[in-house]
Amino acid sequence: QVQLVESGGGLVQAGGSLSVSCAASGRTFSGYAMGWFRRAPGKDREFVAAITSSGRGVYADSVKGRFFISRDNAKNTVYLQMDSLKPEDTAVYYCAAASRVTLRDDWYDYWGQGTQVTVSS
């Protein structure tokens, strides 16, 4: 089992920056690919970014160039740095763990409870 706890969400103005974190406990964190997803009100959950166990990131087109995913295996933590935020980035952000990096949410085995990010215009 892997337990994931997100933190760092909040309210920010459009154009601003915010960083969210996901702390993992349980099985060996370093062996998992980690992903960030988000769900906006009235919309389906969507892929945001993912990072391999070795640190290679992949991004959704909608956030490419604005968001940056990273991980610190010594701290069992994955981060999502969000810059140039837009009102359409408003959502609950979830981190998840999978055996391999993937854009498909149904391939992730473990999920956090989510953290709210709100971007005001």
User: Taken in order 7, 79, 18, 62, is the CA torsion positive or negative?
Assistant: negative
Residue 9 CB coordination number (10 Å): 18
Q: Is 1 exposed, middle or buried (0-12, 13-18, 19+ CB in 10 A)?
A: exposed
| 1 pLDDT tier (thresholds 50, 70, 90) | confident
Question: Residue 25 is encoded by which pair of tokens?
Answer: 């406990």
pLDDT in tens, 13-66: 999 999 999 999 977 888 899 999 999 999 999 999 999 999 999 999 999 999
Q: pLDDT value at position 26?
A: 76
Q: pLDDT value at position 85?
A: 98
Residue 97 CB coordination number (10 Å): 23
pLDDT in tens, 61-119: 999 999 999 999 999 999 999 999 999 999 999 999 999 999 999 999 999 999 999 99
